[in-house]
Amino acid sequence: MEIIELDPADGDLVSGAYDVMVASHKADHPENPAPHRGSFVAGLSYPPPDQDEAHFVAVEDGRVVATMGIGLPNRSNLHFGWAWGSVHPEHRRKGIGSALLEHFIAYAREHGRTELTLDTHMAWENGVERAKAGRSFLEKHGFKLALTTINRSCAVDALAADTEQALLDKARAAAGDDYEIISWIGRTPEELVETMARIDSTILAEVPLGDLELEPETIDAELKRAKQDRTEAMGLKVVQTVARYRGSGEVVANTCVFLHDDGEFPDAYQGITIVDKDHRGHRLGLLLKLENLRLLRENFPHLRAIWTDNADVNAPMIDINVTLGYEIVDANGEFLRKFEA
Ligand SMILES: CC(C)(COP(=O)(O)OP(=O)(O)OC[C@H]1O[C@@H](n2cnc3c(N)ncnc32)[C@H](O)[C@@H]1OP(=O)(O)O)[C@@H](O)C(=O)NCCC(=O)NCCS
């Protein structure tokens, strides 16, 4: 078995890696959204602007048997590194996963990273079954559970039309006239980029992170635009709704959903939903999500479901999602191992 850096131009290796992802998805967590070939391939050549990435495959007898991506933040959180990947179900328990994990640790350590994480699907109460392999594997290698997020999904038409309308009316009444609700599909309107960058910069300080010591990332307008370039390069579209406080002109609440813009992939992913501390308690979270859902349904009739993951302790966000009809599927365990500097 050989570990090779994945060259995005090597079509056979890229296809082999994608096939491993598909086989693992089918064996390990078939209820979750499937890997998307176009986005995977595009992502290999187009890393996020705030993260350096490297991709590796394990090859045995000329066939790709495992795949791994490594992400190293390059602006803030320079102590941190994470990896993702899987071993083909027919090639497990032969030490391939361990070899890749050691490769990740060596690579990240060489780049000065001291806090390394990987995640794995886990079962959660009222959800579907999940194998314990990922957790056992990571614990065997000295990683400890640092953050649990629960994956929920919701049909785009989960609520009866009159229930949805009643919720929307109530949320609109609670928000009152102080907020202008603005929605768009695609790139952030240029006049909102600065204020959106400001609210995006608060995300890491506001979402529960368990034992992950991540500092808030400062997102400026330039980085915000570069992130949007990457979203487009990946063939993803964003559907977004924000609330602008009339008193200050600033965006104080935001929700967004990402989808594959190919007219057929049925699953969409909920991105961040955030309401500025000073503007909580006005039902802005629920209001924005409902407005955004309507926009999504009207413009992308091929979509069937939206997926979201919330920290298990994030009660206010989970309350909103349950109201909207989200149901538990499984959980994600983020496992952390710390090294000496
Ligand atoms: C987790 C995973 C990467 C392990 O790959 P692998 O090549 O089978 O792992 P290894 O053969 O190196 O196993 C090393 C040790 O992990 C533990 N382990 C691995 N699979 C296990 C299982 N099914 N049950 C219990 N322990 C397991 C064992 O301690 C094992 O040592 P042993 O075989 O001597 O008992 C693989 O099962 C997988 O791809 N799962 C889906 C993706 C995932 O959850 N990834 C998590 C890490 S990113």
Q: What is the pLDDT of residues 4-46, one digit of tens each?
A: 999 999 999 999 999 999 999 999 999 999 999 999 999 999 9
- Give the pair of three-digit tokens for residue 277: 């501390």
Question: Which pLDDT does position 65 carry in this prediction?
Answer: 98
State percent of the chain over pLDDT 90.
Answer: 97
Is the CB–ligand 1 distance for residue 273 below 6 Å?
no
Q: Which two tokens stand for residue 280?
A: 């909580």
Domain with CATH 3.40.630.30 in the chain: 2-113, 154-333
**What's residue 205's pLDDT?**
86
Strand order from edge to edge, sheet including 51-60: 2-5, 51-60, 63-73, 80-87, 115-122, 327-338, 144-155, 305-311, 267-275, 251-260, 236-245, 179-185
How far CA 305 is from CA of 120, 157, 214, 261, 327, in Å, comes to 22, 8, 30, 14, 11
Q: Which two tokens stand for residue 103?
A: 């490769």
- The whole-model pTM stands at 0.95
Determine the topology of domain 2-113 in CATH: Aminopeptidase (3.40.630)
- Low-confidence residues of the chain: pLDDT under 50: none
Ligand 1: centre distance to CA 147 (Å):
20
Ligand 1 site, residue 94, Cβ cutoff 6 A: yes
Please name the residue whose Cα sits nearest to atom 24 of ligand 1. 133
Query: Distance (Å, rounded) from C-alpha 93 to C-alpha 133?
Result: 10
User: Which class for 183: exposed (0-12), middle (13-18), buried (19 or more C-beta within 10 A)?
Assistant: middle
- Report which ligand 1 atom has the smallest distance to the Cα of 131: 23
- Using a 6 Å cutoff on CB, does residue 333 contact ligand 1? no
Nearest CA to ligand 1 atom 39: 86
Q: Is 24 in the pocket of ligand 1 (CB under 6 A)?
A: yes
Separation of CA 276 from chain center: 21
**Structure-token pair, residue 91:** 């090639």
Atom 28 of ligand 1, residue of closest alpha carbon: 137
CA of 126 to the centre of ligand 1 (A): 25
State in words which class domain 154-333 has. alpha beta
Q: What is the reported pLDDT for 92? A: 98
Which amino acid belongs to residue 329?
V
